[in-house]
Structure 1
């Protein structure tokens, strides 16, 4: 099997192999479901990958833990050296094993937890852990520096247009859906700025939870606002603008810093026009959703963002579309599972379900498999078989026009309906019908 489109546990593409027909069938189904009143998307790290994009979490870990000899010159002072490895071995943190090997967020969260544990021991027992805390901070800062540099994608600056183009195609189509429906919500676990750059390039208005102009600070109440235009000056009539999107970066962003302000309730600031050198001068940059609350301000943005995620996907007649997300984050999964208890909720998952590793087919999306096994027709899973994809990469299968259904560029360019085209087609039908009617009248 090459491509699949599960509705529940039934594959609707079982006997179809022509990509053009597959594309049109999926697009037709998506057109209906994307007209849901409350529409949300969850964009995972898989959507920022590709040529000149950001490496996978596994590639990030590989380069950080065991840097290659021909490593990019700018990365040499950001990856682990012998002294960092010695510290990890001292704390018995086996960075070569799972879950650290494939997920730097888990690795970093463990370091934060260990540091919190030592700080509390030092407070309670008045024992000195200064050296250990210093060593842990060294590892934490080196890991943050490395992720920051990679997520800013500075090594490809000016050369990552292909990734931005895909994001632009996605947001362009999304911004043009029926203006009478609720404005769409985009949730992302990514730290990068591809979404912001794409919408800025297109002139699409959006809110991301920050308010202000000269200095932008986090303000969760902004998510309750909408941008409106005045339709009639004399009668004060207003209408929400068509192209408006709510953006939620639920795992933080490369341009977020912690900065105290006497006149602000929240101390998280969004910086504009950022680069690695500029962010490195900040005392506390790129705030992560650590499993332990570091302090009140660190807990605040994530608590508010996840509350919005839960509130918006659990509304009646809601649809959530996940792309590039492997369902590996339990705190996100639990909110989605809660939404599934609502009869009108629909879930669309773009995923390969499994991974092809060392010549073997290994199921790595266990939570997605479980969702498929529920045989719930409200759950759609669309993608290309990972085993087939692995054979393709090995050169054992050659198809000139092969496209993985779950890849972000395929979704944005081929599968996602173009609402403007739908409007044009509808207008043409009405015009033809009008001409026919007038023609009959003349007879």
Structure 2
């Protein structure tokens, strides 16, 4: 796959891109938006693969969605381009209407459970190892750890900690940060009952023993999960709780993935119409508000990777934010070379492709687009400037091993 690098209206060389990325990492505010493609190398599924998983198990039920309720079109089915999140939303809306009429909604409930099942399988990443400790030490998360370490080590004294925005439900970022010894501020606070407290996003960590500029080093990152998480659930009082992976797997995930069991007492938060109601709506609304607020700050960089521009709300926020003259956006889009060719086809571009094409044709100097193989997550991480504070991907493990060996040597003397 050919490499393509565009800034503004023209193509740039790889050397210029690397220099540009280095400069962007030094701006006052640095964030990254990660989509499903960013977790694929760690075992995740992209939207097409989630649909294929659902379709393989529910082929006889497809006509219910297509013909009876007209929620998907034959063209989408044949192209395997069904957006699972939008489909969940529509199924849930139709089910709620039927329930209001006090009619039987069993067939939609069964389809909803199967959709939830596919979405959950796509986000597990490590299958039955999900509830285990130290999952982030697995090799498949090396690039995620490398990304976090690079972002935080490129921060200068007095600058804001990096911000991670993601549409993914998986725990790739949480596990990787834990393995690298990085504190994550994700909006939840508490020890035994971690409830959503948005003011925690306004807090940070500092070294109380440091003086001078060292006092303003960075010991944390901010994580905003725009579409929720596999470890979020809503308790009986309506509060949104973050539980550990062991409890989430035992109480919610395994019964669904393994047995297709799902009931009202399982309060794991999934995408769909319910995300805009009651307490859930407050949590999601706060996440999106913080995302919009971040993009309006002066001297800000947003890297976009693994996101296919299939979410209308996020696209509007990004396009609107381009009015901020000091915002710089770097978009990774592997299929960039195909846009021009597809635009000449009879069916034209998909809505997601139209958004990318629109951004490209705006020819703004504040937008850089990376196409080809370098746009994939693992290769993009390699493009980010080499860190100083974390000279090796496995720095934490190397130091821990050295300390253990030192202890063993002392005992042997």
Task: Place the TM-score, normalised by the shorter chain, in its bin.
Answer: 0.7 to 0.9
* 1:278 is the counterpart of 2:254: no
Post-superposition Cα deviations, 1:274-326, rounded to whole Å, max 9, x if no partner, equal: 36443246824442343465631121110110011011111122121111112
Q: 1:340 Cα deviation (Å)?
A: 0.7
3-state SS in 2 of match to 1:54: coil
Q: Paired residue for 2:290, among 279, 304, 308?
A: 308
**Residue 96 of structure 2: aligned partner:** 116
Post-superposition Cα deviations, 1:308-349, rounded to whole Å, max 9, x if no partner, equal: 101111112212111111222110011111211111111111
- 2: CA distance between counterparts of 1:335 and 1:372? 16
**Residue 295 of structure 1: aligned partner:** 277
Q: 1:36–1:339: structure 2 CA closer, same or farther, 3 Å change rule?
A: same
Kindly indicate whether the alpha-carbon contact (under 8 Å) linking 2:34 and 2:304 is maintained by their aligned counterparts in 1: yes
- 2: CA distance between counterparts of 1:310 and 1:270? 24
1:322-401 aligned within 5 A: 322-354=304-336, 365-384=353-372
Deviates more, 1:200-209 or 1:97-106: 97-106
Kindly indicate whether the alpha-carbon contact (under 8 Å) linking 1:152 and 1:276 is maintained by their aligned counterparts in 2: no
Higher helix share: 2
Q: 1:98 Cα deviation (Å)?
A: 2.7
The two structures have a TM-score, normalised by structure 2, of 0.79
**Residue 225 of structure 1: aligned partner:** 203
**Residue 4 of structure 1: aligned partner:** 4
- 2: CA distance between counterparts of 1:94 and 1:311? 35
**Residue 405 of structure 2: aligned partner:** none
- 1: CA distance between counterparts of 2:271 and 2:17? 35
- 1: CA distance between counterparts of 2:309 and 2:301? 17
**Residue 218 of structure 2: aligned partner:** 242
Kindly indicate whether the alpha-carbon contact (under 8 Å) linking 2:35 and 2:307 is maintained by their aligned counterparts in 1: yes
Kindly indicate whether the alpha-carbon contact (under 8 Å) linking 2:177 and 2:183 is maintained by their aligned counterparts in 1: yes
Q: 1:329–1:355: structure 2 CA closer, same or farther, 3 Å change rule?
A: farther
Post-superposition Cα deviations, 1:63-104, rounded to whole Å, max 9, x if no partner, equal: 211x2xxxxxxxxxxx4264x446434334336543884321
- 1: CA distance between counterparts of 2:337 and 2:10? 21
Kindly indicate whether the alpha-carbon contact (under 8 Å) linking 1:36 and 1:318 is maintained by their aligned counterparts in 2: yes
1:84-163 aligned within 5 A: 84-85=61-62, 87-88=64-65, 89-94=67-72, 96-98=74-76, 101-119=81-99, 122=100, 127-129=101-103, 131-132=104-105, 134-155=106-127, 157=129, 161-163=138-140
**Residue 411 of structure 2: aligned partner:** none
Kindly indicate whether the alpha-carbon contact (under 8 Å) linking 1:255 and 1:279 is maintained by their aligned counterparts in 2: no
- 1: CA distance between counterparts of 2:201 and 2:342? 46
- 2: CA distance between counterparts of 1:276 and 1:150? 14
**Residue 419 of structure 1: aligned partner:** 387
The two structures have a TM-score, normalised by structure 1, of 0.74
- 1: CA distance between counterparts of 2:31 and 2:357? 22
Say what the alpha-carbon RMSD is for the aligned residues: 3.1
Q: 1:240 Cα deviation (Å)?
A: 4.7
Q: 1:140 Cα deviation (Å)?
A: 1.2
**Residue 317 of structure 1: aligned partner:** 299
3-state SS in 1 of match to 2:245: coil
Q: 1:420 Cα deviation (Å)?
A: 0.7
Q: Paired residue for 1:408, among 360, 377, 399?
A: 377
**Residue 60 of structure 1: aligned partner:** 50
Post-superposition Cα deviations, 1:46-70, rounded to whole Å, max 9, x if no partner, equal: 11113x61122101101211x2xxx
Which of structures 1 and 2 has the bigger CA Rg? 1
Deviates more, 1:273-282 or 1:307-316: 273-282
The total of aligned residue pairs comes to 365
Q: Paired residue for 1:173, among 142, 150, 158?
A: 150
- 2: CA distance between counterparts of 1:2 and 1:166? 22
